[in-house]
Structure 1
Amino acid sequence: MQWFRYYHETPTDPKWRAVAIEAGVPVHAVLAVWDCMMVNASESSARGTLEGWNHRVTGAAIDLKAADVEAIYNAMQGLTLDGDHLTGWGKRQRCSDDVAARVKQHRERTKQERNVTPAEGNVTGTDFPLRAQTPDSEHIQIPPPPSADTSVRVKGADGAAAVANRFLELREERWPNDTRFPAPLITLRTEAQQFLDSGGTVELLGEVLERGMATWKSPSPPRSLRAFAESVADRVAEFKRASEQPVARPANKSVAIMAPGIIDRMTRIRGRLRLYRDTGKWDYGSDPAPTHPRCGIPLKVLEEELGQDFVDKHHRGAA
């Protein structure tokens, strides 16, 4: 900790006059020694106690004789000192002033609160495959709609908790040493629930947060999910448009029908491609990166999200 409290009444405290009379030195010399003691006690491993105090070195620093510093030290015993301990330190200097310790305690409490959330069911949707299966050329395969237990559109307390926890995880990864507090966990969950109620999904919100944190330009970290409200609104609107498109039966039976499950999966793929476009990072386990020859993402989707030059360079050119 790099500072300590210095109160307004310190320079005019009558105790310094009593010490000055006993030590036979001016009052300003007593104040100078006391200031050095406060700094020493603040920097000590056991704050509030003089550590490595040296009358001669202190005197040289403030232009006093070592004997005068020692006389002041002795005269302070019983008034402001008890041996090498500053008697008023515990009352005048508060433990809460240590910001680093307070932030550490806050993060530990938040981590414990996050670990209390129910673990049943998958609320992140991360176990869904990245690539759609190749349809049978002789049959039209329509994937069944996801069940209530595995749907990525989770709207309960678990979903809100998952989004809030993801926000805190990403914030901690991007700003590991920042001492500014995020919004309370209950506030983050409330905001997450509002986004879910507006039509978003846990996975969609997670993608918005990942992209938003990766491209955040301010030196100060976002305090709450409200910082990404506009991005969430845009992605939810895009998701709704894709979900509401009519499912038309194609004339060519070798082409798979884009059922809701496929649409949602392609929306997720597009979100990952945009994050890759903005950051150059692709961290999705065993799924090949867009530059890999075995990438299973349709070339049309790659071209729409990453550009024709990208596809020509990494896929058409390679072929």
Structure 2
Amino acid sequence: MDWFRWWHGSVTDPKLQRVARMAGATVGEVIAVWACVLERASSVTAGDAGVTQGDRPVTRGDVVGFDCDDHDVLLGFADGKTSQIFAALVDRGLIEDQRIARWDERQPKREDSSTARTREWRERKKQPAGVTTGDAGVTHGDASDKSRGDKSNNPPIPPAAKPAKPTKPVKPAAPAEKPTRAKPKHALQLPFLMTSEMLAWAGEKAPAVNLDRETERFSDHFKGTGEPKADWPATWRNWMRRAQDDLERRGMAKPVKKDPNDTTWIEEDDGV
């Protein structure tokens, strides 16, 4: 099992309390997100999913690909809460360049346990024959000869062989299905421009939303978090849906008539 080091006093660290104030969250919510971020950084391996950070491949300690939306669901937070906390962690310098600050100083180097076991086995092989480590395991020639002399000279009688059980016919294994390859994720390219198709969609699905203002907020948010996405137009559509829903809940817009047969949002799982 892999581990990462959690420092004593982390739950009372004043930096996390300041992050909570900046993000408008409780200290408990910040600690929960911080633990998830550390676990993500610990589980990253070199070249993870082919993602790079700048000119270098990701290594243990990087948090590239940390999905704030998934953690909103995992931790039971309101939409966007994890993103606010993540951005505050970046502002306070706990995360720098999509990497835990001072990770190499905070975490011990891991030793390959299989290498250690191999080394111990080779040391045991170097011991003289008939001698084992520890006083209780030491044997001598006289003791071994005596034990051999006490044994009967009669050859042992082998046990009667049990009848073999009939084997059941083995069903041929079904051919394995080829796994579908996930779309590669990439950071938001600025400036983010709305296409004519996006504007037409917004006129139907989010008519009350101020598109220019919300798109500016959308760009600033993902520029600050640095989250990579596989489909940025889908992410933008989900952002506008939430903005429209928020206006409807506050009574500032008439509800948009939704088509019960419209399932396109299911495929847009890379959104906000």
TM-score when normalising by structure 1 = 0.38
More helix by share: 1
